[in-house]
Structure 1
Amino acid sequence: MDIGNSGLTGRRVVITGAGRGLGRILASAFDAAGAQLGLVARSAEALHEVAGSLTGEPLVCPGDVRAEGFNESVTERMAERFGGVDVWIANAGVSPQVSTVERTDPKVWRDIVDVNLTGAFLGARAAAAVMGEGGRIIVTGSVIGSRPRAGLAAYAASKSGGHALVQALAQELGPRAITVNAVALGWFDTGMGAHWHRDAERENDIVGHTALGRWGRSADLPGVYLFLAGPGSAYVTGATITVDGGYSLM
């Protein structure tokens, strides 16, 4: 992927859930594109490990995106270090847990919805308060948000809510030239999907329902985020861009 002309040099980008999986992949891609990064995750150790693998000097912000005031503290630290925030990527998420509705513990429901949906809302809220014209808010969604599967009610509800949140915020923030979009990911062999990928029966089922006939790979992930964060997407807002190899078509 050629990211040399992505227009992201010097852009001030916050990535939540940056300690592993997709967040780590995004951190590497945006670092290579010349962005100034703020990395957020609950594990300080994981964040420092990611930061040590990058060429730039990111701001490391360990904490919980569900906590009131935490996201605002991230924007304050970004302002002190880099002068502000241009892009907020609400990527922190809890993995799906397969369970029938009768067996889903309400605590599990709350944990999934609080991280995946409330965390995205609180991050967008903090970012919108400090962003200027041309700001970008990007929410990591899922094909499960529009094509739910049995046993994934909590996860599906959280991701569907995220897609709706994006549409509402796009209308609200449009007059300020701030775009808000979601990336609906399909099945990838990294991050949250890795343990599903190791299940041969589930892997074959998903491949059989994916137009490209394979699982997604790490290299397939960052391109759409780089596009949505850059100048080429200035007229794209309120959209959910699906990156699933055609899974949702079949």
Structure 2
Amino acid sequence: MANEQTDPTTKHHDEGFPGQEQDQPATTGPMTPQPDHGEDSYVGHGLLEGRRALITGGDSGIGRAVAIAFAREGADVAIAHMPEEEQDAASTVSLVEAAGRRAVAFAGDVRDEAFATSIVEDTVAQLGGLDVVVLNAAYQKDRESLASLPTEEFDRVFRTNLYGLIWSARAAVPHLEAGASIIVTSSVQAFNPSPGLIDYAMTKAAQVAFVKALAGELGEKGIRVNAVAPGPVWTPLIPGTGWDEERLATFGQDAPLGRAGQPAELAGAYVYLASEAATYVSGAVLPVTGGKPL
């Protein structure tokens, strides 16, 4: 029986979102509606059988969707998360284990160099090696203006989105063998920055440069480095951004497909980049934006 063809404009929640706000780190529980991480829909085909993956920010949102997909494709999964995200992390671990794969979770903050490094060593120790590194942890906040942007706030953005990424990648490279893959979660903001996300957009653009430069360095070793650039996606980061009710009511509506994406719709891009189907793909930025151009 052929797979049913669906209309992408209406496949998921195709309206705006009700007003809601959380302090960061935000979590899944209070969100309305709940995001779809592929819990009931993702079907694996053994594309990552036997791989060992580390996903930063793997407790919720895109990170959880990737963890579910990787596990159902046959990979063991380690996730890193903030201590405040313990409940979300436990749910992700349960979903990975339900797929019959090993799951471990590490609580801490990637702004801490010791933690961002130790998660790599701990993943290797507990899973027996490391084949895929997904550098996904991120922080963003709505900014009224550059003039009012506090130093401690853009420092938090830079340290989460860039410093943590570099520390974890630097620790991971010596453990990676030919065929391994590093995947960074960048953003459409790297190419079309919003004024209210100026510092976040800067880090996402820097991540693109990181991916292209590191792909050049590691290519001869057979290690691929790529990025996924999501558009507007309904994750805990959104109610944690500080947008008002009007902004949430229109979130994602300006995409050509007319709606925000769901985390489940990103998972396949990460599976592809980590799999044998992408053996000649490195230094690439794969957009999953609902049609928003890079």
Tell me, yes or no, whether TM beats 0.5. yes
Q: How does 1:87-102 map to 2 (within 5 A)?
A: 87-102=132-147
Cα distance change on mapping 1:2 and 1:39 into 2, 3 Å: closer
1:94 is displaced (CA, Å) by 0.5
- The equivalent of 2:64 in structure 1 is 24
CA distance, structure 2, for counterparts of residue 29 and residue 153 of structure 1: 32
Asked whether 1:45 is paired with 2:79, we answer no
- The equivalent of 1:111 in structure 2 is 156
1:239 is displaced (CA, Å) by 0.8
- Range moving further from structure 2, 59-68 or 87-96: 59-68
- The equivalent of 1:140 in structure 2 is 185
Cα distance change on mapping 1:201 and 1:78 into 2, 3 Å: closer
Asked whether 1:176 is paired with 2:237, we answer no
CA distance, structure 1, for counterparts of residue 240 and residue 138 of structure 2: 16
Backbone CA RMSD of aligned residues: 2.1
1:204 is displaced (CA, Å) by 3.3
Normalised to the residue count of structure 2, the TM-score between the two structures is 0.78
Cα distance change on mapping 1:136 and 1:3 into 2, 3 Å: farther
Asked whether 1:204 is paired with 2:250, we answer yes
Asked whether 1:34 is paired with 2:74, we answer yes
**For the Cα contact (< 8 Å) 2:187–2:229, is it kept in 1?**
yes
1:25 is displaced (CA, Å) by 1.8
Deviations 1:146-174 (A, max 9, x none): 11111211101111111110011000111
Pick from 267, 274, 277 the counterpart of residue 222 of structure 1: 267
1:73 is displaced (CA, Å) by 2.0
**For the Cα contact (< 8 Å) 1:188–1:194, is it kept in 2?**
no
- The equivalent of 1:155 in structure 2 is 200
User: Which consecutive residues of structure 2, in runs of 5 or more, have no partner in the other structure?
Assistant: 1-40
**For the Cα contact (< 8 Å) 1:167–1:239, is it kept in 2?**
yes
CA distance, structure 2, for counterparts of residue 132 and residue 147 of structure 1: 35
Cα distance change on mapping 1:211 and 1:71 into 2, 3 Å: same
Query: The residue matched to 1:192 in structure 2 has which SS?
Result: coil
**For the Cα contact (< 8 Å) 2:46–2:72, is it kept in 1?**
no
1:120 is displaced (CA, Å) by 1.3
- The equivalent of 1:246 in structure 2 is 291
Query: Which residue identity does 1:228 align to in structure 2?
Result: L
Give the length in aligned residue pairs: 248
**For the Cα contact (< 8 Å) 1:145–1:160, is it kept in 2?**
yes
User: Which consecutive residues of structure 1, in runs of 5 or more, have no partner in the other structure?
Assistant: none
CA distance, structure 1, for counterparts of residue 233 and residue 244 of structure 2: 11
**For the Cα contact (< 8 Å) 2:42–2:69, is it kept in 1?**
no
Query: Which residue identity does 1:132 align to in structure 2?
Result: E
1:213 is displaced (CA, Å) by 1.6
CA distance, structure 1, for counterparts of residue 52 and residue 204 of structure 2: 26
Pick from 192, 201, 213 the counterpart of residue 237 of structure 2: 192
Cα distance change on mapping 1:195 and 1:78 into 2, 3 Å: closer
**For the Cα contact (< 8 Å) 1:6–1:226, is it kept in 2?**
no
1:6 is displaced (CA, Å) by 4.6
Deviations 1:52-100 (A, max 9, x none): 3332331222222222233332222222222210000000010232231
CA distance, structure 2, for counterparts of residue 205 and residue 87 of structure 1: 32
1:201 is displaced (CA, Å) by 4.7
Query: The residue matched to 1:40 in structure 2 has which SS?
Result: strand
**For the Cα contact (< 8 Å) 1:170–1:180, is it kept in 2?**
yes
RCO greater where, 1 or 2, for CA within 8 Å and sep 6 or more?
A: 2
- The equivalent of 2:10 in structure 1 is none
CA distance, structure 2, for counterparts of residue 64 and residue 40 of structure 1: 8
- Range moving further from structure 2, 114-123 or 187-196: 187-196
- The equivalent of 1:14 in structure 2 is 54
- Larger helix share, 1 or 2: 1
